[in-house]
Amino acid sequence: MTPLTRVPDWQSRLRLYLRAARHRPLTPGQHDCCLFAAGAVAAQTGVDLAAGWRGRYTTIRGGYRVLRAAGYADHVALIAAHLPETSPSRCAEGDIAVLPGEDGIATGVIQGEAVYVLWAGGSLTLAPIDAVLRGFKVGGA
């Protein structure tokens, strides 16, 4: 795992990314919870962990097939392969959260006492920080 470094203006880039993602509907392969989280990482670091997966599937099931073919059990395993895991209580703004979703495990982006998450049923919404099951640091350990 090569540590990622946040760019100097990561906070403003992250806010712009979240603002742009706010009204985009869930579209597997284009804008789903994994690609949303990877996009947040890219906004902060310039590195898109999911570049090889964007546009390669059109269903969530297809996304899992593509990930498994690449050696990842699921979207969380992809994130875990690239970002250091930390206790949810140690997560900060911009870190990646794993939380229970409507149709399984979802990934989101921590912002203060809430998590931005793209639920299977629609657009970006906020979930409580206490729902976080696992956390991953963006920009180092």
- pLDDT tens for the 141 residues of the chain, in order: 667 999 999 999 999 999 999 888 888 999 998 899 999 999 999 999 888 888 999 998 999 999 999 999 999 999 999 999 999 999 999 999 999 977 788 999 999 899 999 876 677 889 999 999 999 999 865
> Domain total for the chain?
1
Domain around 127: 10-136
What's the CATH number where 93 sits? 3.90.1720.10
Pairing of strands 96-101, 104-111: antiparallel
Half-sphere exposure of 139 (CA within 13 A, CB side): 19
Tell me if 141 is assigned to some domain. no
State if pTM tops 0.85. yes
Tell me if 3 is assigned to some domain. no
The CA–CA distances, whole Å, from 119 to 21, 95, 139 equal: 12, 18, 25
Tell me if 1 is assigned to some domain. no
Tell me if 67 is assigned to some domain. yes
